[in-house]
Amino acid sequence: MTMFKRVLVPTDFSPFAHKMLECLPEMPEVEEMVLLNVIDVSNPMNLEKKGWSYSSLIEEGEVRLAEQADRLVHLSEGRDSSPTVRKLLKVIAAPMSGADGVNLQWPASLDPGMRVEGGSVGEAIIRTAGEEKASLICMGAQGKGLMEAALLGSVSTEVLRKGETDLLIIRHRILAGEKAAPPDLCRNIFSKVMLTSDFSDASGAAVSRAEEMPGVKELMLVNVTAKEDEFGQAAAKLNLLRERLAAPSKTVTVHVLQGRPAEQIISLAEKEKPSMILMGSQGKSWSRQIRVGSTTFDVARRAGCPVMVVRP
Mean pLDDT throughout 281-296?
A: 66
- Residue 53's pLDDT is 66
Alpha carbon distance 246, 254 (integer Å): 12
Q: Evaluate if residue 92 carries a pLDDT over 90.
A: no
Mean pLDDT throughout 103-120?
A: 71
Rounded to 5°, the CA angle 7-13-16 comes to: 80
Q: Which of helix, strand or coil describes residue 306?
A: coil
Which of the following CATH numbers is that of domain 192-310: 3.40.50.10490, 3.40.50.2300, 3.90.1150.10, 3.40.50.620? 3.40.50.620
Tens-place pLDDT, residues 160-214: 989 999 999 987 555 555 545 555 656 678 899 999 999 888 789 999 999 988 8
**Which CA distances in Å does 190 have to 63, 160, 195, 214, 296?**
33, 20, 11, 7, 19
4-175 and 192-310 agree in CATH topology:
yes
Phi, psi of 29 (to 5 degrees): 60, 40
Q: Give the CA radius of gyration of the chain.
A: 21
pTM of the model: 0.86
Rounded to 5°, the CA angle 312-143-281 comes to: 15
Sign of CA dihedral 146, 152, 156, 161: negative
| Ranges of each domain in the chain | 4-175, 192-310
Q: Evaluate if residue 144 carries a pLDDT over 50.
A: no
Mean pLDDT throughout 251-271?
A: 95
- Residue 290's pLDDT is 52
Superfamily in which the 4-175 domain is placed by CATH: HUPs (3.40.50.620)
- Residue 82's pLDDT is 78
- Residue 99's pLDDT is 53
Long-range pairs of 284-287 with CB within 8 A, sequence gap ≥ 24: 284/198, 284/199, 284/200, 284/201, 284/202, 284/203, 286/202
Q: What share of the chain is helix, strand, coil (3-state, %, to 5)?
A: 35, 25, 40
